[in-house]
Homo-oligomer: A and B are copies of this chain.
Amino acid sequence: MKLRSFMAYEQHNCKYVGGWDPISNWDVEDCSLDSNINLGKFRVSRCGHPKGTSPWLEGFGTPSGLSQTQYSHIGCISEHACPYKFHSIPNGWYPFWEALGVHLVVLLSLPKKKLFEGAQLAQEVRKQPCHLENPFPPLIGSYQEKMETKSQLDSEKYAADILSIREAQVRINSFIHRTPILSSESLNSIAGRRLFFKCECFQKGGAFKFRGACNAIFSLKDDQAAKGVVTHSSGNHAAAVSLAAKLRGIPAYIVIPKNAPKCKVENVKRYGGQVIWSEATIQSRESVATKVLQQTGAVLVHPFNDGRIISGQGTISLELLEQVPQIDTIIVPISGGGLISGVTLAAKSINPNIRVFAAEPSGANDAAQSKEAGRIITLPETNTIADGLRAFLGDLTWPIVRDLVDDIITVEDKEIVEAMRLCYEILKVAVEPSGAIGLAAVLSDSFRKNPAWKDCNNIGIILSGGNVDLGVLWESLNK
């Protein structure tokens, strides 16, 4: 098993060394500096706690007196931020770390708050040969089991992983909105489950796309970024790229199909993107984009088939599972697969037991067909009200969808429209068709009546975007 690495920082004039574990999102601390193992640039830490919580809250004693303390509260805290269950460890926490033989490693000498550099350094360390053979004694059976399940995700076969997603979070955090969760007893009652709506319709630009675009554009080196960025998009990604490029101070060339909704095109213009029209087909979009690339020397920011985009979208799961730790299921709209890839990688790294379902319109069901066939299927044409869900899987998103997404739920357009109505009338939120499809899925017969999913009790639904012209909404509901 690979030894995990941590980002580290210094506090109190170097008298305090702490670190951050991107998998568990735990802070790891060595307050007493009496660590007795030193592996070159590594230092062994003697205690830790979930990020954002602190044992000092409980007022248990001096920092150096850790071994005298009781941590009976740690069970419930750990459940929130961490995949490992400590409920069965009666004396709590420090004895647990001690039982581990001290195998948590922090990097030294990063100034506090330089977390971004920390993430980069942690990634370097991660590549170094640094293995321990099963450091976990039998006491921690369930922990070991989780780690083994999770190790499937640790492999490097996907375009993103929990570390790149945590890095994305550090990179984009000051730019994005941490979107709220809404819930409604009325909708819970209709669904027969507890639903938690992650409102990405309130994200900047009106959709989750800003997360990925921001991560991609702020990942570029200065000389790469100088000539600007290009993308082709049905709208939300286009606005997101425009806004992120504006924040970075570089030009954005946006290829938009002629059938894109008016409000999405206006978003692009509002954020200063330069609109270049194409035909509605994906072929036309791509060929126009290629031409712009050649003419400008700008960098392509693909809407979904890009590790940086996937990592950016994955930050949704980090927030969602912090906001609602009891989530056991997440339902995500699927189109090119960037959103669901990031959400799945992050969620299953944090808790491998979480189920992730894709929601897809029957008129653009390439993902369902692909899962069925075991290979990427594209469609000659699509026909759905959900304008954001007409793209097909890419070679970077397909393996994640194939291996890790538990199932695809297909819904009809009329179910999407009904879900939009419920979002408006009960949640009081404007949600575009692509954004409402998760609610449509959870209310669909195919989900409700599937006995395999009857224990999906606490369901996160990603309301992915809110860019719907009011007139279109009104007309849809009155058809």
Stretch at the interface among A91-99, A201-209, A213-221, A274-282: A201-209
Q: A62-B61, A62-B62, A474-B474 are in contact. Are A424 and B428 (CB under 8 A)?
A: no
The answer to the question of A270 belonging to the interface, with a C-beta cut-off of 8 Å to chain B, is yes
CB-nearest residue of chain B to A201:
B428
Closest chain-B Cβ to A77's Cβ sits at a distance in Å of 14
Which A residues from 429 to 445 make CB contacts under 8 A with B?
Answer: 429-431
- Binding stretch for chain B, among A36-44, A178-186, A454-462: A178-186
Asked if A251 is at the interface (CB within 8 A of a chain B CB), the reply is no
Is A416 an interface residue when CB atoms closer than 8 A count as contact?
no
Which of A58, A183, A424, A467: most chain B Cβ within 10 A? A424
Residue interface mask A394-412, B partner, CB < 8 A = 1: 0000000000000000000
Point out the residue from B59, B180, B466 that lies within 8 Å of A31, measured CB to CB.
B59
Interface on chain A toward B: helix, strand, loop, or mixed SS?
A: helix
- Is A263 part of the binding interface, using a Cβ–Cβ cutoff of 8 Å? yes
Bound-state Cα–Cα, A169 to B463, Å: 30
Q: In this assembly, does A379 line the interface, its C-beta being within 8 Å of a C-beta of chain B? A: no
Interface 0/1 of A366-404, CB less than 8 Å to B: 000000000000000000000000000000000000000
Q: State in angstroms the CA–CA spacing of A474 and B468 once bound together.
A: 13
Decide yes or no whether A473 CB sits under 8 A from chain B. yes
* A3 contacts B by Cβ under 8 Å: no
Q: Is A471 an interface residue (CB 8 A)?
A: yes
Known contacts A31-B59, A177-B183, A470-B474; 8 further A-B pairs (Cβ under 8 A): A54-B56, A56-B58, A62-B62, A201-B428, A263-B425, A421-B470, A428-B466, A474-B474
B-side contacts of A421, CB under 8 Å: 470
Given A270-B186, A470-B473, A477-B470, is A202 in contact with B427 using a C-beta cutoff of 8 Å? Answer: yes
As a 0/1 sequence over residues 169 to 192 of chain A, the CB contacts with chain B under 8 angstroms (1 = contact) are 000000001001011011000000
A90 adjacent to chain B (CB < 8 Å): no
* A44-64 vs B, Cβ < 8 Å mask (1 yes, 0 no): 000000000010111101110
CA distance A429 to B428 in the complex (A): 6
CB distance from A53 to the nearest CB of B (A): 9
Contacts of A473 in B (CB 8 A): 470
From A463, which residue of chain B is reached at the shortest CB distance?
A: B428
CA distance A18 to B270 in the complex (A): 53
Q: Which of A208-235 contact B (CB under 8 A)?
A: none
B residues in contact with A31, CB < 8 Å? 59
Q: A184: nearest residue on chain B (CB-CB)? A: B204
- For this complex, 13 residue pairs linking A to B, each with C-beta atoms less than 8 Å apart, are A56-B56, A56-B58, A61-B62, A202-B427, A202-B428, A263-B425, A424-B470, A428-B430, A429-B429, A429-B430, A430-B430, A470-B473, A470-B477
Report the bound CA distance from A75 to B21 in whole Å. Answer: 30
The residue that A56 contacts in the complex, of B57, B183, B427, B430, with Cβ under 8 A, is B57
Residues of B within 8 A of A428 (CB): 201-202, 206, 429-431, 466-467
For residue A435, which residue of chain B has the nearest CB?
B428
Bound complex: CA of A270 vs CA of B427, how far in Å? 15
User: Which of B180, B206, B263 is within 8 Å of A180, CB to CB?
Assistant: B180
- Chain B residues lying within 8 Å of A57, measured Cβ to Cβ, are 54, 56-57
Residues of B within 8 A of A61 (CB): 62
Chain B: minimal CB distance from A93 (Å): 16
Give the chain B neighbours of A177 by CB distance below 8 A.
183
State the CA gap A466–B186 with chains docked (Å).
15
**Interface-centre pick from A31, A56, A63, A467 (highest chain B CB count, 10 A):** A56
Contact of A425 among B180, B427, B470 (CB under 8 A): B470
Our pick among B63, B182, B471 for the contact of A474 (Cβ within 8 Å) is B471
**A201 proximity list for chain B (CB < 8 A):** 428
Q: How far is the CA of A467 from the CA of B186 in the complex (A)?
A: 15
A424 to B31, CA, bound (A): 50
The CA of A182 and the CA of B466, in the complex, are separated in Å by 14
Q: What B residues does A58 contact at CB under 8 A?
A: 56
Q: Point out the residues of chain B lying under 8 angstroms from A471, CB to CB.
A: 474
Name the residue on B nearest A421 (C-beta): B470
Report chain B residues within 8 Å CB of A185: 204
